[in-house]
Structure 1
Amino acid sequence: MDINIHEVGEFQIAEVTSEGFVINDKEEGLDLLGNLYYHGFDHVILYKTNITPNFFDLKTGIAGEILQKFSNYRVKLAIIGDFATHQSKSLQNFIFESNKLGHINFSESLEEAIRKFSNK
């Protein structure tokens, strides 16, 4: 796992990259949040390809628990990927509502994710 730092205005964004999954379950998600928070990051970018597919099956509860912790700690999160391929209506509604509220964003590109962070 690597962390690329993007400086935008007064804050730093941690872009997490990896060859494999960085989140396989809720414990790994919470560990990642804790480590990034400890290092002072309050904006995080993850890639869909680095998150277990179970995360996107809302019935598993993985997404809900991890994203709630990001909200509790006031750490903004962007997940980059192609979400149009998901057929789940509940997931599409969740993505829509998350993007509308702005704390958790689902974006198509790094540039879009950074732009959303800098507009909030």
Structure 2
Amino acid sequence: MLIKSHTINGVTIAEIISDTIVIESVQDGLDLMGDVYYQGFDKVIMYEENITPDFFDLKTKIAGEILQKFSNYRIGLTIVGDFSKYESKSMKDFIFESNKTQHINFVTMLEEALENFSK
């Protein structure tokens, strides 16, 4: 796993780059959040392919638990990927509602993630 640093308007952003799944469980999400926080990052960009597919099945509750932790600790998170393949109405609603908060976002491109964090 590589952490690429971006700084926009004084905000430090960790872009997580990996060839493998980084978050398999809620604990992995907490560990990642702790790692980037202690390295001085304010926000995190993750890629969909680095998160267990179970995250995108809301019945597992993994997404809710991980995103709640990021919200509680006020660490912004953007997940970059193609979310059109998730056909469940509940997942589409979850993504829509998350994007409204501006704290947890689902976007299709890195540039979009960086632009969101620049606001």
The TM-score, its normalising length taken from structure 1, stands at 0.97
Look up the equivalent residue of 2:30 and give its one-letter code: L
CA distance in 1, matches of 2:99, 2:105: 5
Aligned residue for 1:34? 34
Look up the equivalent residue of 1:82 and give its one-letter code: D
The TM-score, its normalising length taken from structure 2, stands at 0.98
Please tell me whether residue 115 in structure 1 is matched to residue 111 in structure 2: no
Aligned residue for 1:8? 8
Unaligned runs of 5+ in 1: none
Measure how far apart 1:40 and its partner are.
Answer: 1.5
* 1:1-120 correspondence to structure 2 within 5 Å: 1-119=1-119
- Aligned residue pairs total 119
3-state SS of 1:40 partner? coil
3-state SS of 2:83 partner? coil
CA distance in 2, matches of 1:37, 1:72: 13
CA distance in 2, matches of 1:41, 1:90: 31
RMSD of aligned alpha carbons: 0.6
Deviation digits for residues 50-101 of structure 1, max 9, x if unmatched? Answer: 0000001011011111100000110000000000110110010010011111
Q: Where has structure 1 moved over 4 Å in runs of 4 or more?
A: none
CA distance in 2, matches of 1:30, 1:7: 23
Measure how far apart 1:20 and its partner are.
Answer: 0.5
Look up the equivalent residue of 2:63 and give its one-letter code: A
